[in-house]
Structure 1
Amino acid sequence: MKQRLSPATQQHLVLTPQLRQAIRLLQLSAAELEAEVAEAVASNPLLDWQDDGIAADSAADPAAGTASPEPAAADAEPATDDRWEPDSEQWQASGPAAGLDDGGETEQPDAEESLQDHLLWQLHLGHFSPRDTRIGIALIDAIDEDGYLREDLPALAASLRAEIDTTPAEMLPVLHRIQQFDPIGVGARDLGECLRLQLQALPAETPGRDTALTIAAGPLRQLPKLGIEGVSALLGCAAPEAATAVQLLRTLDPRPGAQHGALPAGSYIRPDCVVWRQHGLWQVALAGSALPRVAIQRDYQQMIRHASSCDADYLRGHLQEARWLLKGLEARADTLLRVVRCLVREQAAFLEFGPQALRPLTLRSVAAELGLHESTVSRAIARKYVRTPRGTLALRDFFASGIGTFDGGSASSTAIQDRIRQLVAGENPRKPLSDARLADTLKAEGVPVARRTVAKYREALQIPASHERMRIG
């Protein structure tokens, strides 16, 4: 058999430091982003705040109806050219985003969602049967703050016996679906499974992925003792391949649930985007709080040129970090604008008429339209808010599961809840509407909803049962 070399072109996804940073920046709230950038400016001598003499509050406020230039296109892909031009080493938006006043902090505290809230939201958006939903709620409730399911399935099934008669075999498929939720790796029962779930979410051609999966499933605990050479000998692979796999493992998150938690007391909501109507069309722009003005100092070239070799290496390292930060901010802004514009297109009626006009919309449908992964969309909307003529809304408010209607369409669960609220508000207090009558009314309006579903929505709205709403006299 003759050996020969032949060139081949392949595409690989490598989790480079700048890619990991871009992913992390995307999931930060506006307040967290400001803190992140402030820390970077304080620690990197080549970074500084951009002072262009334009005060944010002096810009025209589009949300108030003031004329404003068209927002920058949001569908353009972020630049991937690694060349650097001195004049481009800054992140400063153009158009309305450049000096848009974000309206300041809103009065209500920023109620940071817990990991359970985040998972339950995804559960209710999924197509789970009522029984699987109850199992999913029990599983999510058992997941700890780091994102792990520490209790084994037989014990959990036994503890649920009074509420729902289930078995570990029935719970396992639901758990597997929850493990695909954002953040990837949640619901794992140990560190190895957590890392395997994250590795399996990567493309098959990712360098080191297969070897990393083998390590995560086997000698993971021995890794500190074995080292690269030991892993290479144990698995029978080349040392460079083992080194690539170990480096890939180091890029993963061993505590995927830790990113969700309560913010310090006194935190407030800061809108990331602003939505307003102009000439009958809905417009979207990034708010000032989502655009930290940061740039690389102009005199850094002289600093590097006249520095000693050791100092020059130090400055070049900080220059690389600064470039990654600026590109990460640009990618974050681009993705956020694309997602919000998609939400506004899909839910224009919601913005105009209120919750009763909210259409069914899922992470999967938005991801498919934008050509993104569901987890990317989930990160883009997590803890993000938009200022609209209807007030400051969470981006999650634009999503809703749906129920098929008699005419072949669909109605969102939010719209159905809003209709139930309206019906109860207009009922005769001496003869309040029962859940069955509410269901019949909705069916007459074309929405085939069961009585138990009405009861579930009514309880979610914190509306008492009909016998508790009865008023005499």
Structure 2
Amino acid sequence: MKPSLVLKMGQQLTMTPQLQQAIKLLQLSTLDLQQEIQQALDSNPLLELIEDASDTSVSGETAESTDEQQVDITEETSPSSNGDGSSIEATNSPSQEQDSDSSESVYEDQWAEQIPSELSVDTAWDDVYEPILPTTGSSSSNSDEEFDYTARNSTAETIQTHLHWQLNLTPLSDNDRLIAIAIIDAVDESGYLTCTLEDIQESFDPELEIELDEVVAVHRLLKQFDPVGVAARDLKECLFTQLTQLSANTPFLEEAKLITQKYLHLLGNHDYNQLMRKAKLKEEQLKQAILLIQSLNPRPGSVIQDENSEYIVPDVIVQKRNDRWSVELNSDATPRLRINASYASLVKRADSSSDNTYIKNHLQEARWFIKSLQSRNETLMRVASCIVEHQKGFLEYGEEAMKPLVLHDIAEAVGMHESTISRVTTQKYMHTPRGIFELKYFFSSHVSTSSGGECSSTAIRAIIKKLIAVENARKPLSDSKIAKLLEEQGIKVARRTIAKYRESLSIPPSNERKRLV
């Protein structure tokens, strides 16, 4: 074919860098957003952090998205109500009413041809390095309590390091020490041995002439280490080792040893009748022996786990004030930014030098970044307010009052696409009087009721949990029985659906919930 030029007309969606940045910030969690903001502060000299909330003097353009925003959801009927008698009153701080265009014009008017003789220092020593507190007085004691040097500088302890520490204090021969090290290395996080003693014996060099009896003897010694029962090959061996360490005067110790050695499978299946018959125990004896076994630790390695608490920083805070549910952004979650007025004033309108171009480019990037933050928090505020307005029953009465809600409902209410709502509700958390929940927690499917209404799957789970909590431990409720009880309340749910909800709540089936009373 002969090459030729063809003119075509069409429409194509092009994502600008500003839009890409806004979408990126929208889907970030609070911790990731803080890291992104810190990177922007490090790379852009035109951005600065507002340390004091009251510091609003000559700040240039401020990230109004990080200022305090509050929405009150009322129960009173108003002309702007949404049909259910609720209305939303939004109040913003004065800095949020400023227009970025007007701020830009102010900067253009303030562009000076003369550079000041002295420029303010960008950073101070105290901004980078924390001052050394005095060693006397109450402030010293408070700082010592808050700063835990061991917790911040020590390495995480594992079950292996804990056992090696005890091994170093135990006098052993060279071969026995090699065997002990091999056994310790084969212990998992739960404290159980992950291979057989024969495999450990075969793993050594034949020239060492290590016999299986030596491995067994060292293994028996390691099981007495702290925590007792560690390096056991199965649950039976773990529990029995812990029972042997108890005092001989412990009540019902022999009955517990008998059950652990011979009838642990019957105890696991809750077959108490057959257990009493085979072990020749009375009901009271069996009950006390089971209580003794339940006091043991089936996972001894779990007590040597590093306990580093992971805290969730909520993005939105919901409180009830004067019979109104108030929704506001967590001002501590997102740092407040502004344009550095000193650097911005150095921009010259008609100057095309490299320094002037550098400042102008970073000034524009800083404005884009602040505007993206503003867009993110405004979207988050709108979505959170809509969720709270829809789920006021949950806030008032708990999970059983949760209403069905899907992404499409919120998308229609706020006039956004479902993908945007999905980004906003992922890894974003809301602090309520009933706890901290991810925004996605408030979304659930619905089940039709006999009266023609709808019931949320979250509410059904709460009802199931409540029914099981008050059931008779001797005759626990089966899934079919729970389905019938729900049907009496007008909720039609299949037995398999009940089983699925029960498993999602980590509730065992009825035969495993059976207990002796």
Question: Into which bin does the TM-score normalised by the smaller protein fall?
Answer: 0.5 to 0.7
How far, CA to CA, are the matches of 1:373 and 1:439 in structure 2? Answer: 37
The answer to whether residue 313 in structure 2 is matched with residue 294 in structure 1 is no
The answer to whether residue 27 in structure 2 is matched with residue 27 in structure 1 is yes
| Counterpart for residue 72 of structure 1 | 91
The answer to whether residue 476 in structure 2 is matched with residue 432 in structure 1 is yes
Q: Deviations over 1:146-184 (max 9, x none)?
A: xxxxxxxxxxxxxxxxxxxxxxxxxxxxxxxxxxxxxxx
Preserved CA contact (<8 Å) 1:45 1:318: yes
The answer to whether residue 359 in structure 2 is matched with residue 315 in structure 1 is yes
The answer to whether residue 312 in structure 2 is matched with residue 269 in structure 1 is yes
Preserved CA contact (<8 Å) 2:344 2:363: no
How far, CA to CA, are the matches of 2:454 and 2:53 in structure 1? Answer: 51
Q: Deviations over 1:330-378 (max 9, x none)?
A: 1011100000000000000111111111111001111011110001001
How far, CA to CA, are the matches of 1:266 and 1:21 in structure 2? Answer: 32
How far, CA to CA, are the matches of 1:267 and 1:403 in structure 2? Answer: 35
How far, CA to CA, are the matches of 2:416 and 2:107 in structure 1? Answer: 27
How far, CA to CA, are the matches of 1:79 and 1:400 in structure 2? Answer: 39
Q: Deviations over 1:243-299 (max 9, x none)?
A: xxxxxxxxxxxxxxxxxxxxxx86531110110011111110100134321111112
State the Cα distance separating 1:414 from its structure 2 match. 0.8
Query: Aligned AA for 1:50?
Result: I
Q: How many aligned residue pairs are there?
A: 279
| 1:279-358 alignment runs, 5 A limit | 279-305=322-348, 309-358=353-402
| Counterpart for residue 47 of structure 1 | 47
Say which SS state the counterpart of residue 437 (structure 1) adopts: helix
Preserved CA contact (<8 Å) 2:46 2:344: no
Q: Deviations over 1:398-417 (max 9, x none)?
A: 11111111111111111101
How far, CA to CA, are the matches of 2:488 and 2:107 in structure 1? Answer: 60
Say if 1:369 and 1:337 are closer, same or farther in 2 by CA, change over 3 A: same
Greater displacement, 282-291 / 21-30: 282-291
Kindly name which structure, 1 or 2, has the bigger radius of gyration based on alpha carbons. 2
Query: Aligned AA for 2:490?
Result: G
Say which SS state the counterpart of residue 282 (structure 1) adopts: strand
Query: Aligned AA for 1:343?
Result: I
Q: Deviations over 1:95-152 (max 9, x none)?
A: xxxxxxxxxxxxxxxxxxxxxxxxxxxxxxxxxxxxxxxxxxxxxxxxxxxxxxxxxx
| 1:175-214 alignment runs, 5 A limit | none
Preserved CA contact (<8 Å) 1:274 1:387: yes
| Counterpart for residue 188 of structure 1 | none
How far, CA to CA, are the matches of 1:78 and 1:438 in structure 2? Answer: 55
Preserved CA contact (<8 Å) 2:107 2:345: no
Preserved CA contact (<8 Å) 1:18 1:324: yes
How far, CA to CA, are the matches of 1:404 and 1:321 in structure 2? Answer: 51
The answer to whether residue 378 in structure 2 is matched with residue 359 in structure 1 is no
Say if 1:412 and 1:314 are closer, same or farther in 2 by CA, change over 3 A: same
State the Cα distance separating 1:314 from its structure 2 match. 1.2
Query: Aligned AA for 1:376?
Result: T
How far, CA to CA, are the matches of 1:83 and 1:465 in structure 2? Answer: 66
Say if 1:83 and 1:302 are closer, same or farther in 2 by CA, change over 3 A: closer
How far, CA to CA, are the matches of 1:73 and 1:12 in structure 2? Answer: 37
Q: Could you list the runs of 5+ residues in structure 1 that have no partner in the other structure?
A: 1-7, 64-69, 90-264
How far, CA to CA, are the matches of 2:310 and 2:466 in structure 1? Answer: 33
Q: Could you list the runs of 5+ residues in structure 2 that have no partner in the other structure?
A: 1-8, 56-66, 72-88, 109-307
Preserved CA contact (<8 Å) 1:71 1:284: no
State the Cα distance separating 1:84 from its structure 2 match. 5.0
Preserved CA contact (<8 Å) 2:474 2:516: yes
Say which of 439, 444, 459 aligns to 1:415. Answer: 459
| 1:17-166 alignment runs, 5 A limit | 17-52=17-52, 54=54, 71-72=90-91, 85=104
The answer to whether residue 486 in structure 2 is matched with residue 442 in structure 1 is yes
| Counterpart for residue 139 of structure 1 | none
State the Cα distance separating 1:429 from its structure 2 match. 1.1
How far, CA to CA, are the matches of 1:282 and 1:302 in structure 2? Answer: 43
Say if 1:266 and 1:315 are closer, same or farther in 2 by CA, change over 3 A: farther
| Counterpart for residue 238 of structure 2 | none
| Counterpart for residue 14 of structure 2 | 14
How far, CA to CA, are the matches of 1:366 and 1:376 in structure 2? Answer: 10
* TM-score normalized with structure 2 length: 0.50
Query: Aligned AA for 2:311?
Result: Y
Say which SS state the counterpart of residue 304 (structure 1) adopts: coil
How far, CA to CA, are the matches of 2:455 and 2:369 in structure 1? Answer: 42
Query: Aligned AA for 2:487?
Result: K
Query: Aligned AA for 2:321?
Result: Q
Preserved CA contact (<8 Å) 2:344 2:359: no
How far, CA to CA, are the matches of 1:462 and 1:325 in structure 2? Answer: 44
The answer to whether residue 508 in structure 2 is matched with residue 464 in structure 1 is yes
Say which SS state the counterpart of residue 336 (structure 1) adopts: helix
Preserved CA contact (<8 Å) 2:44 2:362: yes
How far, CA to CA, are the matches of 2:100 and 2:51 in structure 1? Answer: 27
Say which SS state the counterpart of residue 284 (structure 1) adopts: strand
State the Cα distance separating 1:317 from its structure 2 match. 1.1
State the Cα distance separating 1:88 from its structure 2 match. 9.3
Preserved CA contact (<8 Å) 2:107 2:344: no
* TM-score normalized with structure 1 length: 0.54
Say which SS state the counterpart of residue 299 (structure 1) adopts: helix
Say if 1:308 and 1:15 are closer, same or farther in 2 by CA, change over 3 A: closer
Identity, in percent, stands at: 45
Say if 1:88 and 1:340 are closer, same or farther in 2 by CA, change over 3 A: farther
Say if 1:417 and 1:53 are closer, same or farther in 2 by CA, change over 3 A: closer
State the Cα distance separating 1:86 from its structure 2 match. 6.0
State the Cα distance separating 1:52 from its structure 2 match. 4.1
State the Cα distance separating 1:311 from its structure 2 match. 1.1
Say if 1:80 and 1:71 are closer, same or farther in 2 by CA, change over 3 A: closer
How far, CA to CA, are the matches of 1:333 and 1:471 in structure 2? Answer: 51
Preserved CA contact (<8 Å) 1:78 1:330: no
How far, CA to CA, are the matches of 1:298 and 1:12 in structure 2? Answer: 39
Query: Aligned AA for 1:456?
Result: K
State the Cα distance separating 1:316 from its structure 2 match. 1.2
